[in-house]
Structures are given as structure tokens and as C-alpha cells.
Amino acid sequence: MAAKEELYAKVTPRRQRQNRPSTIKHGSTLDVLLSMGFPKTRALKALVSTGGKNVQAACDWLFSHLDDPFLDDTLPREYVLYLRPSGPLLQQLNNFWKQSRLSCGKNKAHNIFPHITLCQFFMCADEKVDALSDALQNTVAKWKGRIRMPLPLELYTSSTFIGLFVEEQIAEMLKTFAADFATEATSKADVHVEPHKKQLHVTLAYHFQASHLPALEKLAKNVDASAGCDWLAVLLSRDIRFANHETLQVMYPYVPQNDDELELLQGDFIFMSTVEQSTASEGWVYGTSLGTGLSGLLPENYVSRADESDTWVVHGSHSFLNCASPSTSGTTVSGLLFDGHLNDSLFDSLMDPSGLSGLCPPLQVSRPGCQPSLSKMRLFVCRHGERMDVVFGKHWVTQCFDSKGRYIRSNLNMPVSLPARSNGHKDYEKDCPITVFGSTQARLVGEALLESHTNIDFVYCSPSLRCIQTAQHILQGLQQEGKTKIRVEPGLFEWTKWVSGTCLPTWIPPAELTAANLSVDTTYRPHISMSKLAVSESYDTYISRSFQVTREILTECKNLGNTVLIVAHASSLEACTRQIQGLTPQNSKDFVQVVRKIPYLGFCACEELGETGVWQLVDPPILPLTHGPNHSFNWREMLMQD
């Protein structure tokens, strides 16, 4: 412990640290980076920081960290071994996480995803990480099929703690497994691992207000601890320098105005320590970027609080089932830096049946003692793709149309052509199209649905052009274009309070959309007509409208098809699913906080519980979609010399 405390002492404050060179030895992936001219220390650090994912990920990391003052530092990362649940139990725990956070606010348990701790944090030199991963894989192989699944768990509550404890006999077996890993890790990677000696448990809540105990206890009792589950042994790492820092996520990009300010890229994470805030004035904080390693001042209202584990890296994930094990490495626990919050479906994706065909049974898509019903109704709600006005600014219309109203694109990410509008191109100012990349995003989602053998029976869409185009490209990816018509439903338009000006957008009529080769159902009669939408409607009106139209859509489709897709706005993922689950609407402030974190093509799934008319959120049949920002490039400004 003394050596560890010394290392912590050396990283505070960071601005006085000095760089130190190092030499290391690694495998073939490292050899590729060395052949490209990267120094050994940097190349290995890049591989470890990206989980050894691949050469491209390591190269991207190196280029983004060129100015990182700790790029050549040999300080090791910290590692930990957790058991992570999958399948129905994880779904229930995620629902508890969400509901407890909404009703009682964030407590300490929310900083890390649901897990059972098998060992304490320990350090491993970069050149030993591959051996450490092998040690875990070998240990799990010895224990496959020996531990009963699902683990027997019992609820325990006190005034300060709520958790699920592992039955003693099984807990002792897990501790023996952890001890075996510690021995293997010492032998292969020359590290000291201390197995967890206390009672093994899943923490549900702690460090919460005393007044929240009844509500949290009630939610905890609704968790079915016997739900079907496989437990994954997951090896994770974090940057030791930021172990005692608060984690923030960038919500908006920021270009520095002064030399001591930090550039912000949307989706990046910022590490902030309270001891470093002496140089920050009111409304500003001092932090360090995960994406670049650079430090500086940044506006506080450009970031939001994230979870501690959002920036951790996965170096291996292995199933305890008596079958081949999915081993995943090179993934940050946040999964995709876009998504804004801890990606609870990340570890589900590790066990996704579409990616494990012939390896392990897809436990997470079935419940104990029953098979999925083919007649069960499903509802998918999806946000539209990347929109033109966000990428190119609100004045893109005046820049892309000449005096005669002819469209001329000025960037490869702009569509080659746009649908004609009877009232002229000015209508695009309030009803913009999606970009070329937005089309690609949507097509990728459609292709993923096709690969998961998902068939869409009905498609309903907001009247916004960006939503209709997104739905069209999803159908293209699904190979259902022309076969499944898009039903344009004005009732699915976003909260009209967010529309600028004194009037709503002028949308393209279905007949003109069809003329523009968009697969729109011209015979569809909307549940809520456009004339019923009012400017600046109240929050309650919007929520009520969304619930009403969703319920009527589901009733309309019942017994005619199993799967309904709604393509609309970020707010739709919350507004169209919350009340059909029997939940009361959030207040408008919390609603906005949820909506602002939903990315382009954000996708959620609901499933009806039998014939009860009650719905619940479930894992989508596809992986999440993540992408990074790409700034405008002008070669004249960058490359021309004076």
C-alpha cells in the first residue's frame, strides 16, 4: 500500500510532474506501431489506453495525444476485476439504476455500473497487460461450468446501504476463483492482486439521503434477484492520475479564447480535481481532457457530471458458462464517447447473440422457464440522423441556394440534391434535411436490424423531413424500401416550444414526398392533424400528445404486425415510451436533461408483457452507434505557406 500511496502523491499536483522515458517489450501489434516510427513507450501506452483494440485505434490515440505532457510517462494504470451481470438480471438492475436516479437523485452507487467486486485495485506495468489478460482467460477456463448460474442473491437494506448479497457457499467459491486469478496473475504478469475478502455483493445504493430510504427500498424489492443471468468476469483499467478526480462529460464544443483555456470536443470526458480550482474564476473549472491529455480552463456550463466508470477501459470479458467465452477488449466502459452517459447496454453487446452465433446461448433475450413469444409486440423509437443546420449552421440555406433558388452543395457531407418545395427553398430554414453522414447513420441502423433478423411491420414518422429521410434510409438498410411505407404522423413532432419564431415549420405534403422518391403512405390518415399542433405548447400538452398518439398507433397495429418503428426526435424516446410503461411523466427540467443526452440515431426498444397492455424497456436488437466529431478542413489555411 505504501508504494501505491507514493504513486498517488506523485500525481498531485500534475502540473509539476516531469516526463520520464521508458523501454518495453510487447507483441506483434506493438511491432506494427514500432515499424511506423512510434517510440516504444508511446506505442505501448496507446495500446493499453485503448485496450489493445487495434493498430488504428492506437494511432488515433497517439495523434490526439501528441501534446500530452505525460505521453512519455511510465506511470502504470490501475486494474480491477469485477463480475458483471448480463441478460434479464442486468436489465432489472439497469431499470433500478434509472428509476432510483430519477426519483431520488444520484448516489455513490451510480458512479459504477452494477457489479460484484472480486479484487482490490492493483497496478500493472504496460508491458505486462497482455499477460494479465491471459491470466484471467486461463483462470476462467478452469472454472467454466463450476459456479451455479444465476448466482443466489439476497436483498439487504440498512439506513445507509442497500445491496444484493451472494449466498455464502457460492461466495466462497467466487473468492477461491479470485484467489486463483491472483496466483495466475502473479505468475504471468508479476503483479500483486489482493482478492476481495469482505462479503460479495451488488451495491444498489449508498451515501443517500435518509429521507430517500423508503423509496429506494421499495424499488429494490421490485428487483427479481433470481432472474436469468450469466456473470462475466471483466478486467478493467483506469488512469491512476485521475482516480480521485470527478468525471465530467463535454456537452457542447468550445473553441479557446485565451491560451490557458482548453478546447472542448462534444462527447469527450474531463477530469477535474477540487485542489486544482484555485486558478478558475466563477463559472469556470480547471480540468484535463481524456481525449487529448491537455489541461486548461473551461466553461462549467459546457460540461455535465458523468460516472466514474465512463472512462474505464475493458481488457477482457469472459463468461462463466460451460461454453466458448466471448472475450472483449479495447472498449471504454462508456462505449462510445458520443452517448453522453454510461452505456448500460455495452456489456449486453458483449453477449449479443448476433455476434456469438454458435458460441453461447443468448441468455439475455429469454427469461427463465419460457421462450420468447413470436407474437409479442415490440416498439422501437429512434431519433433522426445528423441534421444540416447543426453541422453547417443556421445560414446554410442562404449559402447553398443561388438567386434563382438552385441548390449547390459546398461540402461532401451535404446531399447531392434536395426535394423541391412548392413554397420555395426558404422552408428549409425550419425543416432541414439530414446530411450525407446522417443518411449513412440511418442505413447502418437498418443493416444492423437486418443482420439481427428483425423485420419492421409498420413505420411511423414525424412530419419533419429529417425524420422521413432517416426512416427511408433505415428501410434501405433493412432491404424493405418500397415494401414498407412510411406513415407520416404530425402527432410525433417534437415539443413545439422548441420551434423558433411564431409559426410551425411548413412540411412537405405526402404527395410531394412521394414525388421525391420517398416511400410515404399517401393513404394514411393521421391520428393528430397538423391543424391541432399549436406554437409554444405546454410541456404537459406535449407529453399528453406523445402518449396519446403512441397508444393509438399501438392499438392500430395490434394483431396486424409484431414490430412498430417510430422515427422522430430525441425527445420522442422518452415521451413515447415512459407512460406506456405505467410510469408518470418526469418534470420538464429532468426531461430536458435526459433528452439533451440522446444522440443522432439514438435507439430504444419496448416490449409488451404478454397481452396485459403493459410495456417495459428492453435491450434493442442492435448495437449502439457511435461516431466522433469531424471539424471542417480548409487546405488553403492549413497547408499554404507564406
Residues acting as catalytic residues = 383-384, 569
CA distance 385 to 391: 11
Cβ neighbors of 181 (< 8 A, separation 6 or more) are 81, 118, 119, 135, 136, 139, 193, 195, 233
Find cell 405548447 and name the residue: 537
Closest by CA position to 58, among listed 74, 42, 39: 42
What does the angle CA 289 – CA 290 – CA 295 come to, to the nearest 5 degrees? Answer: 25
Interatomic CA distance for residues 546 and 549, integer angstroms: 5
The per-residue b/e assignment along 518-531, b for 16 or more CB within 10 angstroms, e otherwise, is bbbbeeeebbbebe
Is the Cα torsion angle 214, 219, 220, 221 positive or negative in sign? positive
Q: Give the three cell numbers for residue 555.
A: 392499438
- How many other CB atoms sit within 10 Å of the CB of residue 561? 14
- Count CA within 13 A, CB hemisphere, residue 502: 0
The candidate with the shortest Cα–Cα distance to 590, out of 98, 95, 93, 96, is: 98
d(C-alpha 138, C-alpha 505), whole Å: 60
| Residue 525 annotated in ligand binding | no
Residue 188 near residue 131, CB atoms below 8 Å? yes
Q: Are 118 and 172 in contact (CB under 8 A)?
A: no
d(CA 210, CA 230): 33
The number of angstroms, rounded, from the C-alpha of 266 to the middle of its chain's C-alpha atoms is: 14
Q: What is the dihedral of CA 352, 354, 360, 365, to 10 degrees?
A: 60
Cα–Cα dist 177/179, whole Å: 5
Q: How many CB atoms lie within 10 A of CB 560?
A: 9
Residue type at 524 in one-letter notation? Y
Instruction: Tell me whether strands 231-238 and 295-299 are parallel, antiparallel or unpaired.
Output: unpaired
Q: Find residue 313's DSSP bridge partners.
A: 237, 332
The answer to whether the Cα torsion of 97, 202, 372, 356 is positive or negative is positive
Cell numbers standing for residue 529: 392533424
DSSP state letter for 595? H
Half-sphere exposure of 499 (CA within 13 A, CB side): 23
Cα–Cα distance for residue pair 268/295, rounded to 1 Å: 13
What residue numbers does the annotated binding site for substrate cover? Answer: 466
